[in-house]
Structure 1
Amino acid sequence: MPWLTAEEALQALKTKPQTLYANVSRGRIRAKPDPADPRRSLYQAADVQRLAERHAGRRKAETVATETIRWGDPVLSSAISTIIGGRLFYRGRDAADFADTATLEQTAALLWNGAEALASRTAAGHAAPSLQAAFLALAARVTSDLPSLGRSQAALRREASEVLCTVADALAPGSSDRPLHLRLAESWQRPNAADCLRRALVLLADHELNASTFAARVTASAGAALSASVLSGLATLTGPLHGAAWQGVDALIEAASALGAEQAIRRTLAQGHRLSAFGHPLYPDGDIRALALLSHFPLPQPFAELRETGEHMVGEKVNVDFVLAAMAAAFDLPREAPIIMFSLARSTGWLAHAMEQIDSGELIRPRARYAGPSPETTASP
């Protein structure tokens, strides 16, 4: 597998070093340390060539189709959310503005295009928020809930409310008459974090056709129960390239504390790892969700130093994964707080997309471009 030096990669891409680093941090170009000089990096030639051809406008139709599901053109119609001009919109409403006053419950009502409040239940026990409990509770529902096909949107919205209650009981245990952000703050015994949690939950509720949402829609398209769609989304969210990206931010903070921010970033890039704290392909001028949250809590010093250094070196602003990790540190929340917040909030979006997919009546079943050995043929007798 051929590798290029930074100079060779920059010549092929006709771009600046910051753009090269940004493409590495986004996972678009693979990198590894140079065996001859570990302080330098080598870059995967095929990745560089692919980006160079894209920028030159020489993509074939097959290449366009292949790249559609990788930060490419839209592949499904949806009226739920979109990113336009660096802004996130929920059914036409600016999500950052909406987050100034809205709760997650109100966001669910907006995304579901009309919904009941969370179903009244017996108050749950006050155990700590648990992702494992959410998985178990959803799995228990899947075997008993009705399939989604052939049911009215009103019936599905009622069930969506019940499914969200199931998730909420696991991720934000507490009295059912309390808003979810207050339940979450109380379960962590951090009342001063409540307003910031409210804003974060609203901003994380949906994000167009991301990996976990696509998984939820595929499940719904097969007619599975709504709880199965949320379970699919939750499983996908746990991946380090998606909802668990905060772990990479924590690792970078730990390295920065030991080596300094600049050396930690250099080492991470030289090892071929993504910088999960910086940049987002859909927000060239900065992740609006991060920008909407940063002014509402004090940024701890290690995060402030990493932000300043990284934004200068990489040429990308910090993203929502960075902000969630910073929130957890600022309010002294449990280490897994980012994935708890993400899972609780995004459940509302998965349910919205599942119901929309069911309403379309379409099965999501793409074809594969076969790249294996030539099929054997048997001569006719």
Structure 2
Amino acid sequence: MTELRLTNLSKRFGGTGDAPAVDGLDATVRDGEFFVVLGPSGCGKSTLLRLIAGLETVSGGEIRCDGALWSGAGGHLRPEDRGVGFVFQSYALWPHLTVERNVSFPAEVAGAAPRDWKALAAKHLETVGLTRFAERRPAELSGGQRQRVALARVLASDARLVLMDEPLANLDPHLRATMEAEFLEFHRLSGATTVYITHDQREAMGMADRIAVMMDGRFLQVDAPETLYWRPATAEVARFIGRGALLPATRRGGRVTAEGLGEVPARDNPALADGFCALFVRPEEVRLGGDAAEGGAEARVVRAVYRGGVWELTLDLGGLRLEAVGPARVRVGDIVRATVAGGWPLPAPEGFPMSRNAVEDAFVPAE
């Protein structure tokens, strides 16, 4: 069992007037879970990983693993005593050592006999499909092969907690999908509890058991990928995950009316009080075509991008913006009829306009 618990965790650099890099985080990473921390550059992700590894000391709160204190007011466990495996963005391989010796390094440092560390390296190089590269140096490998050497090294260390610091950031896009599958297979084989940080939401959604959306040193929401996508807790999370539009709306007795579109069959948000709100609509919830008798409104296409099989569209409904997808070719300037077939009502964010006349661009795409 390897359960990681963060309690009111904080880290501050500089003086007391500086904003904390990590600001009061609370989370439990479950045994065997693939837990992804997703956020933009500078939000505190890497600092959090360094705190868990013991490379930084906490300013407040504590970190516990299986109930044992790792960092906090009661002490600070040394990094080498935590038994953590670390997969770096830069691979962190010894350039002068062979692939075999890079993989066996943890066992050699621990005092294993040559026969044992050679057998260990051979076993894990076979696992990652690099047996025939055992005598090569890292400089002779591709980026994906180097990352697999780093994974084999973590397997050889027998770590029960693995930290991954944006390990796909240096790889070409075509290689990322392959490496995502390899990371998941590595996770299955090792059974290790894994904390993976990234700024790429596609990676996060595709690999995570749960995702923590991090902004300005705080976790805004910790949930399963599908929950984050369809039931974000705040407009900020909604805007960051995927694509969509925020529309001015009113909620009364569970019914939601969006300005200019009438009543919309929105999903119920029991945490939301009646009154003015923001209706978040995903592209999949916008239907194109039909006639006036079927409701909806006419919209002008202001953006059309082909994504292989579908067109990604941005529609203008007299000042309101909608994101949609359609199978048929459309052009900027075309007029289409759009019907909103669903949505998720949220508390209106600060400064959110109550009228379409004040709306300029109510959605923020996250590419």
Q: TM-score with structure 1 length normalisation? A: 0.22
Structure holding more strand per residue: 2
Flag the structure with higher helix content: 1
TM-score (norm 2): 0.23
**Rg larger in structure:** 2
